[in-house]
Structure 1
Amino acid sequence: MSISNDAVTQLIHTRLPDAQIEVQGDGYKYQAEVISSSFQGLSKVKRHQLIYAAVNEAITSGQLHALTITAYTPEEKAAL
């Protein structure tokens, strides 16, 4: 039993409604790029904790096995 990319996106949106989110996955491994002004002033660890909190239910249920996260503020993403 796995979770769709859209469902992962929706879970993250519940915690970070202002975020731009791109999720790619194959049913086992997923990558999420999350851009949100909510990350302003937060460390990389704190940013990841926010995202993991949003998808925790899917992780504990076994639907989401592996998630690689990149998290930026809009300014950080624009500077790339």
Structure 2
Amino acid sequence: MFRIIQPNTYYVDMSGTPCKITRTTSDTVHYQRNGHNCIASMMRFQSDFEWVEAAELKQIWDDLETAAHLKKLRAMRAA
């Protein structure tokens, strides 16, 4: 299905990392991933990224937060 890529929407890449769309042109997509600004061609973006709904995005953020917290606890226990 065709979807218009608009600023301030979220997509996930092939590894499941959320990406925020900052702006688009007719042939490029500018997005932020892991705090870095990135640019992709429209064709590559459409093939490598997938739109996510708000509920699914919240679940991804929760999973990332849990993983970071567990990593911190394991580091504290090891020290």
Normalising by structure 2, what TM-score? 0.26
Query: Whose RCO is larger (CA < 8 A, sep 6+)?
Result: 1
Bigger Rg, structure 1 or 2:
2
* Higher share of residues assigned strand: 2
